[in-house]
Amino acid sequence: MQVTGPIHFYFDFASPYAYLAATQIDALAARVDRPVHWRPILLGVVFKVTQGVPNLHKPLQGDYLRHDVPRCARRLGVPLHQPLASPFASLAAGRAFYWLDQAGGDHAPSALARAIFHAHWAEGRDMALPENVLDVAASLGLDRMAVEAGMNEPAAKDRLREETEKALAHGVFGAPFFYVDGEPFWGADRMGQMEDWIREGGW
Amino acid sequence: MQVTGPIHFYFDFASPYAYLAATQIDALAARVDRPVHWRPILLGVVFKVTQGVPNLHKPLQGDYLRHDVPRCARRLGVPLHQPLASPFASLAAGRAFYWLDQAGGDHAPSALARAIFHAHWAEGRDMALPENVLDVAASLGLDRMAVEAGMNEPAAKDRLREETEKALAHGVFGAPFFYVDGEPFWGADRMGQMEDWIREGGW
């Protein structure tokens, strides 16, 4: 077991709880002196294996989510566009992320992830649309045409699929989902517990 | 909206997270000076309406639960019998609870609930079996024959069904589930958030 390893942060851009987590994970990681490995995945692919259903679509639980996400956002002081967006296909966003991750350069893929989350969940811009993802990338100073070409390369598509499969192999069944030192934590509401686990070296 | 109302604590005796919550709710309620209304329900009936599945039976999520419940118990210093029991029919336990609730007298139904939770989850005694529920009731000083007769009365059966239907009408889709001042909180991992909500009067 690694004792000072990174926090692996698995998420789908389409998860509102992953958005909330994304606004908190950097500060948490800084407090416990760990790097964060951002790992977008496709929950739709996960749900095919687990027979899962988006919480927003579940009877009663969907209503709770529509009440709870804004409540959590208010508590955290995090901006949230309402009404909440429906689950959407985050393929373009995930592919752009992994293209940037592999391309390297001056731009951190995590900065792109944060900007995509913000555009979708705080500003209500539909990140299912590749052109909107490209707008966000360009606003960060990335070369729009390079991102567009890159996200359509097989390498980016393969990587998103591989990371999703890797997540499944690690037992990831929802998002956000964290691994640190081999220990799994599911849910934005477990981030405090994860922080305590890291500080205290487990229980 | 009531501002100093009770904490409504909905649970199924068959939920390990409800057991963990049951070991913490009294201290929480005392800290914020609220009474607790213990309300056992039948999650199986809820799941028929919501097409829910016990988390323990879900692919991947079941494995996480088997890892997470003992981890949470260790953190809380709460005894837990392992391996974790499978979901079970908590009819007898719920009926005994509501019989006692209606019978009144010296014994608090919440004390019976705590003892049933403890017997099942800390001691590994199968609370699906009416005779085991009766043993627990008798160990608290209750008249075993009176409990046995009472839990088989239509009133106790009806009450358990009615409380489950009432919970569904309030949007309860899982357990533990809390309502306080009209505000819903789902999950043992939201108890800290609920406590903050009560203290701060909401956000």
Compute the nearest-CA separation of B176 from chain A (Å): 13
Q: How close does chain A come to B197, measured CA to CA in Å? A: 9
Which two three-digit tokens encode residue A91?
Answer: 């393929």
In this structure, the number of other CB atoms found within 10 A of the CB of residue B83 comes to 8
Distance, in Å, from the CA atom of B65 to the CA atom of A40, rounded to the nearest integer, reads: 23
d(CA A38, nearest CA chain B) in Å: 21
User: How far apart (Å, rounded) are the C-alpha atoms in residues A165 and B147?
Assistant: 53
> What is the C-alpha to C-alpha distance for residues B44 and B173, in angstroms, rounded to an integer?
10
- Distance, in Å, from the CA atom of A197 to the CA atom of B146, rounded to the nearest integer, reads 47
A43: chain B residues, CB-CB within 8 Å: none
Q: Which of A60, A64, A184 sits opposite B64 (nearest CB)?
A: A184
Q: Indicate whether A55 pLDDT > 50.
A: yes
Per-residue confidence (pLDDT) for residue B13, from 0 to 100: 98
Helices A91-103 & A130-139 angle (0-180, nearest 10): 40
**Chain B nearest-CA residue for A184:** B64
Mean pLDDT of all residues in A47-68: 92
What does the pLDDT look like over B118-144, one tens digit per residue? 999 999 999 999 999 999 999 999 999
DSSP assigned state of A4: S
Query: Given this model, what pLDDT does residue A72 score?
Result: 97
Per-residue DSSP letter, A80: -
Q: What distance, in Å, lies between the first and last C-alpha atoms of chain B?
A: 15
Percent over 90 (pLDDT), chain B: 89
Q: For the segment A66-123, what is each residue's pLDDT rounded down to a tens digit?
A: 999 999 999 999 999 999 888 899 999 999 999 999 998 889 999 999 999 999 999 9
User: Tell me: the pLDDT tens digits for B28-48?
Assistant: 999 999 999 999 999 999 999
What percentage of chain A reaches a pLDDT higher than 70? 99
The answer, yes or no, to whether residue B70 has pLDDT greater than 50, is: yes
CA dist B22 → B25, B36, B37, B78, B102 (Å) = 5, 11, 12, 11, 21
| Closest chain B residue to the Cα of A75, Cα to Cα | B203
Which one has a higher pLDDT value, A139 or A51?
A139
**The predicted structure's pLDDT at residue A56:** 87
Closest Cα partner for A93 from A121, A112, A67, A108? A112
- The pLDDT confidence band at residue B3, using thresholds 50, 70 and 90, is low
Which residues does chain B have within 8 Å of residue A68's beta carbon, measured at their own beta carbons?
A: 184, 186
Burial class (CB in 10 A: 0-12, 13-18, 19+), B172: buried
pLDDT at B4: 80
Which of B17, B9, B27 is CA-nearest to residue B70?
B17
Q: Are A197 and A182 in contact (CB under 8 A)?
A: no
Concatenated DSSP letters for chain B? Answer: --SS-PEEEEE-TT-HHHHHHHTTHHHHHHHTT--EEEEE--HHHHHHHHT---GGGSTTHHHHHHHHHHHHHHHHT----SSPPPP---HHHHHHHHHHHHH-SSS-HHHHHHHHHIIIIIT---TTSHHHHHHHHHHTT--HHHHHHHHTSHHHHHHHHHHHHHHHHTT--SSSEEEETTEEEESGGGHHHHHHHHHHT--
**Average pLDDT over all residues of chain B:** 95
Structure tokens at A67: 């009440």
| Cβ <8 Å between B50 and A64 | no
Question: Ramachandran region of residue B105, left (φ > 0), alpha (ψ -120 to 50) or beta?
Answer: left
DSSP helix/strand/coil, A145: helix
Do A60 and B168 make contact, defined as CB atoms within 8 angstroms? Answer: yes
Position B156, amino acid? A
Start-to-end CA span in chain A (Å): 15
Residues A37-56: what's their mean pLDDT?
Answer: 93
pLDDT at A103: 93
B56 has pLDDT over 50: yes
B2 pLDDT exceeds 60? no
Residue B106 has pLDDT above 50, yes or no: yes
Lowest-confidence region among A151-160, A191-200, B104-113: B104-113
**ipTM reported for the complex, 2 dp:** 0.93
Q: Do B189 and A186 touch (CB under 8 A)?
A: no
Interchain CB distance below 8 Å, A189 and B187 = yes
Query: Residue A3: what pLDDT?
Result: 59
The answer to whether the Cβ–Cβ distance between A61 and B190 falls below 8 Å is no
pLDDT tens-digit readout, A146-170? 999 999 999 999 999 999 999 999 9
Chains A, B: CB pairs < 8 Å: 70
| Strand B177-180 relative to strand B183-186, pairing | antiparallel
Measure Cα distances from B33 to A193, B1, B170, B199 in Å: 25, 17, 24, 10
Report the gap between the CA of A171 and the closest CA in chain B (Å): 5
- For residue A184, the SS3 value is strand
Q: Which positions in chain A touch B196 (Cβ < 8 Å)?
A: 75
Mean pLDDT of chain A: 95
Q: How close B45 gets to chain A, by Cα (Å)? A: 14
At residue A111, the pLDDT reads 97
